[in-house]
Amino acid sequence: MTPELPVGIHDLTFSTTSLVLTHEELARHTGAPLAKYHHGIGQRSMSIPAVDEDIVTMAANAAAPVIDRHGKDRIRTLLFATETGIDQSKAAGIYVHRLLGLNPHTRVVELKQACYAATAALQLACALIRSDPTQQVLVLASDIARYDIGSPGEATQGAGAIAMLIAANPAILSINTPSGLYTRDVMDFWRPNYRTTPLVNGRRSVDAYLEALTQTWHDYKERGGLPLEELRAICYHQPFSRMAHKAHQHLMHLAGTHQTAEIIEHAVAGTTTYNETIGNSYTASLYLALTSLLDSETNLEEETIGLFSYGSGSVAEFLTATIQTGYRNALHTERHRTAITQRTPITYDTYRELRSQKLPTDGEALHLPHQTPGRHRLAGTHTHQRLYEAVDKRCPQ
């Protein structure tokens, strides 16, 4: 029997916004002890979008280096995962399709199921490649996490986008089978159409997350999955980075594995670096954890890692991937670190001012000032239409 062709992530990049609010600055205005942020939830800063940055511009900025490196001729599908969509009908990925100058003979779809949607997109992409290994699929996950000012979730806000090029014989990692699945109708986190911020039951959300981890792990094991000790590392969805510690402690308990605070810290430390400075990025969060792990000094060649994806409401999946030999040659480590260090710190007052600004809802024309240093920007609105432009001429419109 011919071995199954490996399929998985051939390239992986992320982008975030150009502004950042540190938790030191936030604590000065909330009166909360800084330790509550740094140690309680494991967060140090959160990315804040400039007026001309949104989920489309972040996604296009994340994807641009992938297109620069690999071209676009083999991309036949673009899958855009988000839970902060900008239109009830039109997929945000269609704007990105134009900004990147992709082939018109491409399918573009938006996927939604809270923070899980990027994993659904990844699995759909792998299935498409297995049916036609000559094509490639561009998977984008882009979100801006906003909560009510003064709410418990405010300190976990953030923004980020992931771009993954899915292909046969991938350079970074191959996606394995089986995976464990779980769905349950639970109201732990949701956002009705008439709200701009979500409704959250924090305690219930943590419980639902851990229950989903339990159920997906059991399903994964029942289908012949590997024992925990054979997984070199595990990346978790991180609504806040301390959740990765809670999740790993829970999984070790399920597996009957010896656990200490030091063991748990060592196991997840490499996965939290980007999330603790960017904040929650919803669909992109798990894959920011993966990028952080890959960009770390840990040698992962030929190792198998676990990925736990959770989306409130809720849907979850536990899957594994095998890291390829020479994967470091495909990484964008310096670009990623620069994206974080070059953000401009803002004051709490500036943050509040940015939060108060709204796009017109009556079709009025609006021209936005050019603030982002990124390659793509939201230029304004006109007759209820968003107007995007590619600043970098290498990305034709």
CA torsion angle 293 296 300 303 (round to 10): -20
Q: Note if 237 is an active site residue.
A: yes
Which of 110, 115, 317, 376 is an active site residue?
115
Which of 25, 53, 83, 317 is an active site residue?
83
Q: Note if 235 is an active site residue.
A: no
φ, ψ of residue 176 in degrees (nearest 5): -100, 165
Kindly give, in sequence order, each residue whose CB lies less than 8 Å from that of residue 81, ignoring residues fewer than 6 positions away: 110, 111, 112, 117, 118, 120, 121, 139, 140, 141, 142, 283
Q: Note if 83 is an active site residue.
A: yes
Q: Which of 98, 115, 87, 107 lies closest to 63, judged by CA?
A: 98
Amino acid at 54: D
E-strand stretches of 27-186 = 45-48, 75-81, 107-111, 136-145, 158-168, 173-175, 180-183
Q: How many residues does the chain have?
A: 397
Kindly give, in sequence order, each residue whose CB lies less than 8 Å from that of residue 386, ignoring residues fewer than 6 positions away: 56, 86, 95, 359, 378
For residue 126 the two structure tokens come to 């792998």
Catalytic residues: 83, 115, 237
